[in-house]
Homo-oligomer: A and B are copies of this chain.
C-alpha cells in the first residue's frame, strides 16, 4: 500500500470513529467499520485488536454490538477456529435502521404520556401529540426510505448478501 493510501486510510478510520461517536456509538465501533469498509476484506478477532491497537475486551463487546445490529457479520474460515468479521452488505443502512428505531421508541414513550393526559382546557395534550406524531413520522419515513434502498440494491446490485 502506498504511503499516501495508508494516510488516507487512517483518516477515513478516524472519520468513522468520530461519526460513530456523534451517533451515540463508541469510537472503536466506528474504527472497526472504517477498517473493514476501507479494506473490504475479513479481519480476524486478533487482527482487529492489533491493527487498531485496542484490547481484546473492547473487540469482543464492540463486535457483538455491531453484529447484533447488522453492521458486520461473522465469516468462517476452514481450518481456523478464529472468528473473522467482514463489513455487512447493508452496514450503512443498518445504522439508519437504528436511528429509525430510536425515533420510534421515543414516539412510543410520548404517546404513552399523551394517553394518560386528560383534557383540561390547556393545549398541552395537543402539543405533545404533535411531538409524538413528528417522531413517528420521521421513524416511518426513514424505515420507508430504507426498504426502498434495499429493493434498489436487490435489483441493481451484484451482491445478493
Contacts and interface: CB of A to CB of B under 8 A. Distances in A.
When all copies of this chain in the complex are counted, the total is 2
Given A38-B124, A120-B5, A122-B40, A12 B113 contact: yes
A52 interface: no
A131 to B, nearest CB: 6
B8 A92 contact: no
A4 B37 contact: no
Q: Binding site of A, secondary structure by majority: helix, strand, loop or mixed?
A: helix
Interface string A131-154: 100110010010001000000000
A39 B120 CA distance: 13
A122 B145 CA distance: 30
Nearest to A103: B19
A117 B5 contact: yes
A102 interface: yes
Given A22-B102, A116-B4, A12 B110 contact: yes
A15 B120 contact: no
B96 A38 contact: no
A2 B106 contact: no
A57 interface: no
Given A92-B131, A106-B19, A39 B8 contact: no
A79 B32 CA distance: 58
A86 B101 CA distance: 29
Interface of A: 2, 4-5, 8, 11-12, 15, 19, 22-24, 37-40, 92, 96, 102, 106, 109-110, 113, 116-118, 120, 122-124, 127-128, 130-131, 134-135, 138, 141, 145
